[in-house]
């Protein structure tokens, strides 16, 4: 038995293809428990995806197998077919879970109250803080999504680009209302923010500094750089 795939072929879905479930998941961003799993399949879906994230984070795509995910869960490898038709589908789900949550949170912040500077600070804080409680998902999304098949990578990429657009929108609004300098480049500023924030997981464990302190310093750095001479900030968001 190959450890990276299942011996038993997934049952055909209503659309007549074995990959129908994976495509449905990709469209919704949610893991779908299926089949006749019986014993608490819906309840265990979160546990299944967490285990997959842990294995991919620790071993990488090439080191991870469906058997190792099953071992973490103490279930039979064949039982995973109700959740993932393949290792590639498992990786896509972990990446989707990793980015979709960021998108939904960012969207709520961007559409919420406060001046653009306050909302940009909130966006940065929300992007950095999951390092502690969603570290496996963050690591897999940042380092392993390049191993996804092209179609899966495009689906994941839509969420990632949507997140970038949210940051750009808030920066453009800040420039329009005079909070940020009008010669700033929203696209480059967004890439700078996400670049330095996404790098945090690679060095966080080596530094004696809290996530809160990192967020505070990064926010101060960005807001100071964007500050409009015509509207000096009296108090930066903490």
Calculate the alpha carbon distances from 125 to 11, 60, 168 in Å. 43, 27, 16
For residues 81 and 69, the answer to whether their CB atoms sit within 8 Å is no
Res 205: pLDDT: 85
Q: Which of 67, 89, 111 is the last residue of a domain?
A: 89
Domain that holds residue 58: 20-89
pLDDT band at 231 (very low <50, low <70, confident <90, very high): low
* Last residue of one domain, picked from the residues 44, 68, 89: 89
The pLDDT of 105-127, averaged and rounded, is: 96
> Is residue 10 scored above 70 in pLDDT?
no
CB-facing half-sphere around the CA of 198: CA atoms within 13 A: 19
Using CA atoms, how far residue 207 sits from 40, 215, 222, 226, in Å, is: 41, 14, 21, 27
CB 69 within 8 A of CB 3: no
The values of phi and psi at residue 38, to 5°, are 75, -85
- Burial of residue 176 (CB within 10 Å: 0-12, 13-18, 19+) is exposed
Residue 108 sits in the same domain as residue 46: no
107 and 169 in a common domain: yes
Structure confidence at residue 79 (pLDDT):
86
At 221 the pLDDT is: 96
Q: So what's the pLDDT on residue 31?
A: 45
In a domain, 112, yes or no: yes
Please report, for the domain that includes residue 60, its CATH number: 1.10.10.60
* Residue 227, strand partner residues: 180
Give me the number of domains the chain comprises. 2
Task: Please provide the average confidence, as pLDDT, over all residues in the chain.
Answer: 81
What are the distances in angstroms from CA 167 to CA 84, 116, 118, 180? 33, 10, 12, 13
Instruction: With cut-offs at 50, 70 and 90, classify the pLDDT of residue 237.
Output: low
12 assigned to some structural domain: no
The CATH number of whichever domain residue 126 belongs to comes to 1.10.357.10
What's the pLDDT score for residue 179?
93
pLDDT in tens, 72-113: 999 888 888 888 888 999 999 999 988 878 899 999 999 999
Query: What value, to the nearest 5°, has the Cα angle with vertex 82 and ends 81 and 87?
Result: 40
Shared domain for 131 and 24, answered yes or no, is no
Residues 101 and 183 in one domain: yes
d(CA 50, CA 94): 8
């Amino acid at each position: 038995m190959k450890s990276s795939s299942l011996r038993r072929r997934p049952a055909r879905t209503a659309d007549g293809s074995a990959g129908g479930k994976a495509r449905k998941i990709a469209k919704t961003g949610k893991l779908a428990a299926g089949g006749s799993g019986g014993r608490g399949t819906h309840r265990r879906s979160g546990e299944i995806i967490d285990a997959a994230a842990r294995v991919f984070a620790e071993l990488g795509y090439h080191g991870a197998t469906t058997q190792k995910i099953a071992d973490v869960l103490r279930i039979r490898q064949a039982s995973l077919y109700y959740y993932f038709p393949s290792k590639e589908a498992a990786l896509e789900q972990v990446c989707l879970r990793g980015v979709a949550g960021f998108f939904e949170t960012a969207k709520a912040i961007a559409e919420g109250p406060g001046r653009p500077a306050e909302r940009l600070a909130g966006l940065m804080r929300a992007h950095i803080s999951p390092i502690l409680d969603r570290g496996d998902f963050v690591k897999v999304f940042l380092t392993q999504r390049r191993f996804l098949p092209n179609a899966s990578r495009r689906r994941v990429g839509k969420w990632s680009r949507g997140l970038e657009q949210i940051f750009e929108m808030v920066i453009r609004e800040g420039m329009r209302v005079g909070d940020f300098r009008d010669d700033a480049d929203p696209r480059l500023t967004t890439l700078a923010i996400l670049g330095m924030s996404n790098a945090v997981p690679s060095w966080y464990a080596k530094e004696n500094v809290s996530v809160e302190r990192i967020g505070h310093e990064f926010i101060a750095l960005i807001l100071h750089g964007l500050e409009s001479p015509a509207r000096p900030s009296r108090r930066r968001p903490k």
